[in-house]
Structure 1
Amino acid sequence: MFFDLNVPIKKTIPRQSTGKKGKQAASEPAVNWVSAEIAAVEERIDLLIHLGYTVIGLSQTVNKKVDAKTHVNVLNQLVAQLRERPGIVYLKRLNIILDQDSEKGFGLINANVSLFHTYDLIALVPTTHNTFSLACLTHSLPSPLTAHIISLPLTLPRLPYHLKHTLTRTAIKNGAVFEINYVGALGGENDASLVEADAAENGPAAKRNWWASTRELVRVTKGKGLLLSGGVVIDGDLRAPRDAANLIAVLGVAQDAAHDASTKTPKSIVIRAQTRKTYRAVLSEAKVVVPGEATSEKTLKRLREDSQLAPIIPTKKQK
C-alpha cells in the first residue's frame, strides 16, 4: 500500500456575503465544482492509481492564517463528487504557510477545532525560524489541533532557518514527520499558492536548491521521520512510488527507510491523525471492569485475551 498525501487542489473560493454591519453571513458559501474541474481531478487520480498509489491525500493550501469567518473547506464537496473506486482512500489535507505575520497566531486555536475536524491531515509550512520552532515544539504535541506533517520549503535558494538537531528530534519524538515533495527534484512546477507566498520556487535553480536542502534534512534527521509525497501540479511530473524512493536513496537514505517513507510512515501518520478527534489522543474506547462482577475463570480468561485489558487483569500467579 503506497501513499501520496500531497496532491494539490486549486480552487477559487467565492467571497462571502456580509450583513448590514459588515458581519459575515452565517451560512457557508457553496463551492461549485464544474464538470471540467472534476474531470481533471479524476484524470490525475486515475494516473496515481495506475502508478500504484492506493491512499491519496487531496490538499488545500492557505497562507498566513486560517480565519474561521472566511475559510471554506473546498475539499468536502470535491470528495463527495468523486467517483468511488474500490480499495482507494481519499483524504482531505490542509496546508498552512507560516511567515512573519503568522508568528502572532495562525488560527490553530481551540475556538476553531470544529473547523479543523473537517480535515484528515494538517500540515505546516514554516518559512521563518520562529514558526519552525513553533511547529516542532508546540504544534507537534498531542492535541485536537496537532499538525503531524512539517513540510519544509526545500526549493528556496536557502532554507530560512537552521535545522537544529534538538528541534528535529523533539518533533519526531512527538510523532511529527518532515515531508519531502519529490516534485522539486525534477524541477517541476510547484503549487501556485506556495510560490505566491514565497515558500517555493520553480525552474532549474529550484531543482538545485532541492537537492542541497534535502541532503541537509536527511543528515539532520538521519533518515528517520521522513514522509515522501508528490506535491505535483502537472501530471507529467508524477512518478511511481519506487522511483520516488530511489530519489531520496541517492541522498543517503537507506533502502528500507526510503521505502517506509511512502508506506509505513504515512500509514502511521494517518492513524495518528485520527487522535485529533479523540480525548487526549486516545484511539480506543476505554472499558471499565468492576471488581466482583467478573469472577468466573472463563470471564477472566476472555478479558485477559483482550489486548487492551491484559495489562490490568491479574493472573493466578500474580494474585
Structure 2
Amino acid sequence: MFYDLNVPISTNSSSLSKKGKGKQPQTSNAPQFTAAQLSAIDAHLDLLIHLGYTVICFNQTVQKKVDPKIHVNVLNELLEQLKPRQGIVFLKRLSVILDEDSEKGFGLVSVKAPTLALACLTHTLPSPLTTHIISIPLTLPRFPFHLKHTLIRTAIKNGAVFEINYVGALGRESDAVLIEAGAAEANGGNAKRNWWAAARELVRVTKGKGLIVSGGVVAQADMRAPRDVANLISLLGLPQDGAHAACTSMPKSLILRAQTRKTYRAVFSEPELVIPEGYSAPQPQLPLPKDTTQSVTQSSASSIGGQKKRPREENDAGDSTEVQSVAGAETGRIEQGIDKKKRKKNKT
C-alpha cells in the first residue's frame, strides 16, 4: 500500500480579514463545491489511483483564527459528494500554519520560545492539539530557524514525523500551505534549488528516521508514481529501503499512532459487546416456596437408603457409657502410678 498524505483542497470560503476594528465577515452555510471543482477532484483522484496510491489524505489548511460558529470542516462535505471507490481509503487532515496569526487563533506560538522548539517539544505531546506531522517549508531561500539534533530526535520519540513534499523538487507549483503562507520564491528554479539543499539537511539531521514523503501537488502534470518518488528521495542520501519505507510503512505507523492517541492507552475504539447468533442467556432460577422446601427435605430424609434413624436417647446413652468407660480407665492408670511411687519410697 502506498500513501499520499497531502492532497491540498482549496475552498470557496472567504478569508478572514486582517488586523483592525470591525467584525469579520461570516459565512452562513458551509462552502459548496461546484460541479467543475468536483470533477477536477475526481480526475485528480483517478490519476492518483492509476499511479498506485491506495491511501489518500485530503489536506485542509488553516492559517488564522477559527471561529467555531462559522468554521466548517469542508472535508466532511467533500467526502459525501465524491463517488465511492472500492479498495481506496480516504483520510482527512488539518494543517495549521505556525506563525503570529495562529498565536491569537490557537495559542500555539509563545514569544518566549522559538517556533520549531514549540512544535517539536510541546505540540508533539498528547493533548487536544497534538501534532502528528511537522511540515517544514523546504522551498524558502533559507530556514528561519536552526535544525537541532535534540529537537528533531525529541519530536520523533514523541511520535511525530517530518514531511517532505516532492513537488518542490520539480520546481513547479508548490503546495497550498506555502501559497497561503505567502512564501517568497515558491515557484521556479530558485525554489527547486532551495528544496534540494533543505531536504538534504533534513535527512542529515533526522538520519533518515521519522520521515514521510507526500505529494502536495496541485497540478496533475506534477504527479509522480510511488516508486519514482522513492528513487527521487534516495538521491537525498536515504538508502533504498528507507526511501521505500517513507512511502509505505512510516505513513501507516503514523496513522495507527494518531488513532490510538484519540482513545485511552492505545485502545483503537470503544469496546462493544458482540453476541453470537443463536445464543440465549441462561435464565435465573427462582427460589422455591417454603412449604415445598420443607416437604422435599422431609421426603429425602426419609428415603435415604431406607435406613431408620436411631432415637436421640439411645445415641446419648451410648455416648455417655463410652465417656464413663474412658474416665474409669484413666482413673485406674492414675492410681497405679501413685502405688508405684509409694513402693519406691518404702524400699529406700
**1:278 Cα shift?**
1.3
For the aligned residues, what is the CA RMSD?
Answer: 2.7
Matched, 1:173 2:154: no
2:223 alignment partner, one of 226, 230, 238:
238
2:114 alignment partner, one of 104, 108, 130:
130
The answer to whether the 8 A contact 2:57-2:93 is kept is yes
Matched, 1:36 2:36: yes
2:234 alignment partner, one of 244, 249, 259:
249
Distance verdict in 2 for CA 1:163–1:104, change over 3 Å: farther
Q: Deviations over 1:209-241 (max 9, x none)?
A: 000000000000000000100000100000001
**1:195 Cα shift?**
2.1
2:200 alignment partner, one of 207, 215, 219:
215
Equivalent position SS for 1:40:
helix
The answer to whether the 8 A contact 2:4-2:57 is kept is yes
Distance 1:192 1:266 in 2: 20
Query: Unaligned 5+ residue runs, structure 2?
Result: 17-21, 273-348
Equivalent position SS for 1:98:
coil
Matched, 1:55 2:55: yes
Distance 1:286 1:80 in 2: 27
**1:11 Cα shift?**
1.1
**1:277 Cα shift?**
2.6
If the length of structure 2 is used for normalisation, what is the TM-score?
0.70
If the length of structure 1 is used for normalisation, what is the TM-score?
0.76
**1:199 Cα shift?**
4.1
Number of matched pairs: 264
Distance 2:114 2:215 in 1: 26
Task: Find the counterpart in structure 1 of residue 300 from structure 2.
Answer: none
The answer to whether the 8 A contact 1:97-1:194 is kept is no
Higher helix content, 1 or 2: 2
Task: Find the counterpart in structure 2 of residue 291 from structure 1.
Answer: none
| Identity fraction in percent | 67
Distance verdict in 2 for CA 1:22–1:181, change over 3 Å: closer
Distance 1:81 1:257 in 2: 37
Structure 2 letter corresponding to 1:156: L
Distance verdict in 2 for CA 1:192–1:272, change over 3 Å: closer
Task: Find the counterpart in structure 2 of residue 206 from structure 1.
Answer: 191
Distance verdict in 2 for CA 1:286–1:43, change over 3 Å: closer
The answer to whether the 8 A contact 1:11-1:74 is kept is yes
The answer to whether the 8 A contact 1:139-1:145 is kept is yes
Higher Rg of the two aligned structures:
2
